[in-house]
């Protein structure tokens, strides 16, 4: 009798443990919004089921850069909160900046988020979310450079990250021949240091990060262009766009976006 009770207790304990594990397992695998579980809302169709695949170019501090092997930064953190709101797991893919839009268009990625300017020309190829940050194109020169203002850029070699708005605007304003295109901002800054180009046109926050990390560089006081950063989507993919936009606007209204931006860009 005693033995039978003991066995019963062990069995009960096992059943209990099993239930707990089953519950945990369920929670881990069905990380979806409540509404989906009740079947009242259709599940978001993403590139990979249950995941939000984001394309970025992680050489753009403080928006996206590597901390060891992990991609961190403003965009990475905002995207993580968006994915959480949508009950999806965020997957960040690092690619060339000029592969982001084609990849989004071809359905390889759900979103492109890369400190990307919601530029009018790009609207022909992709749709954009609500803007979540402001960007400014600035000019980095070597200390002691004879370039003191934008007027002095005439006839100079201008380094840019290929396919960025810095590239597009500088090519328009100063001619194709004046512009030297690099794979990322870091390589462009190296080219400036070694005298291959006379300046680099790039967004202000990465510019600050590059200048802080490299001796002998400075940013011109006059800025070159003001812009708005937004997330891009495949044209007509309103399902993802609406869902992501709704989550983003909520995060803006909750003050979460500002919190993240302030964490990476402390007020001067």
- CB nearer to ligand ARG: give 205 or 245: 205
Q: Which residues lie closer than 8 Å to 166 by C-beta, 6 or more apart?
A: 137, 160, 201, 202, 203, 224
Q: Using the 8-state DSSP alphabet, how is residue 2 labeled? A: H
Name the residues that contact ligand ARG, by CB under 6 A. Answer: 56-57, 59-60, 64, 97, 114-117, 135, 161, 164-165, 203
Provide the token pair at 150.
Answer: 């934008």
What span, in angstroms and rounded, lies between the C-alpha atoms of 75 and 98? 17
- CB nearer to ligand ARG: give 46 or 56: 56
- CB nearer to ligand ARG: give 57 or 237: 57
| Shortest distance in whole angstroms from residue 78 CB to ligand ARG | 14
| Shortest distance in whole angstroms from residue 46 CB to ligand ARG | 22
| Shortest distance in whole angstroms from residue 204 CB to ligand ARG | 10
How would you classify residue 54: left for phi > 0, otherwise alpha for psi between -120 and 50, otherwise beta?
beta
Helix (H, G, I), strand (E, B) or coil at 268: coil
* Angle 124-253-251 from CA coordinates, rounded to 5°: 70
| Shortest distance in whole angstroms from residue 82 CB to ligand ARG | 17
| Shortest distance in whole angstroms from residue 66 CB to ligand ARG | 12
Nearest to 262 by CA among 78, 55, 57, 59: 78
- CB nearer to ligand ARG: give 53 or 59: 59
| Shortest distance in whole angstroms from residue 121 CB to ligand ARG | 10
- CB nearer to ligand ARG: give 87 or 229: 229
Contact 83, 75 (CB under 8 A): no
| Shortest distance in whole angstroms from residue 158 CB to ligand ARG | 15
Burial label for 11, CB within 10 Å (0-12, 13-18, 19+), is exposed
Provide the token pair at 82.
Answer: 């968006």
- CB nearer to ligand ARG: give 9 or 136: 136
- What is the gyration radius of the CA atoms in the chain, in angstroms? 24
- CB nearer to ligand ARG: give 44 or 90: 90
What span, in angstroms and rounded, lies between the C-alpha atoms of 258 and 268? 15
């Amino acid at each position: 009798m005693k033995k039978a009770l003991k066995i019963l207790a062990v069995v009960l304990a096992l059943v209990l443990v099993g239930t707990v594990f089953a519950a945990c397992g369920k929670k881990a695998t069905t990380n979806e919004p409540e509404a989906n579980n009740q079947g009242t809302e259709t599940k978001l169709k993403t590139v990979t089921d249950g995941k939000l695949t984001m394309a970025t170019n992680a050489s753009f501090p403080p928006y996206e850069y590597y901390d060891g092997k992990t991609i961190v930064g403003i965009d990475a953190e905002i995207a993580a909160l968006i994915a959480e709101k949508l009950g999806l797991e965020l997957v960040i893919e690092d690619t060339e900046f000029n592969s982001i839009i084609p990849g989004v268009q071809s359905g390889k990625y759900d979103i492109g988020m890369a400190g990307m300017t919601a530029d009018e020309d790009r609207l022909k190829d992709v749709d954009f979310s609500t803007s979540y940050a402001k960007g400014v194109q600035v000019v980095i020169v070597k200390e002691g450079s004879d370039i003191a203002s934008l007027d002095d850029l005439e006839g100079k070699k201008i380094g840019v990250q290929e396919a960025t708005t810095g590239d597009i605007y500088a090519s328009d304003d100063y001619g194709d021949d004046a512009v030297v295109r690099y794979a990322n901002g870091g390589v462009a800054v190296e080219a400036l240091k070694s005298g291959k180009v006379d300046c680099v046109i790039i967004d202000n926050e990465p510019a600050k990060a590059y200048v802080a990390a490299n001796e002998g560089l400075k940013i011109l006081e006059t800025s070159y262009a003001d812009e708005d950063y937004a997330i891009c989507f495949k044209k007509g993919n309103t399902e993802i766009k609406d869902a992501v936009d709704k989550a983003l606007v909520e995060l803006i209204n909750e003050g979460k976006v500002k919190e993240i931006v302030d964490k990476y860009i402390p007020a001067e």
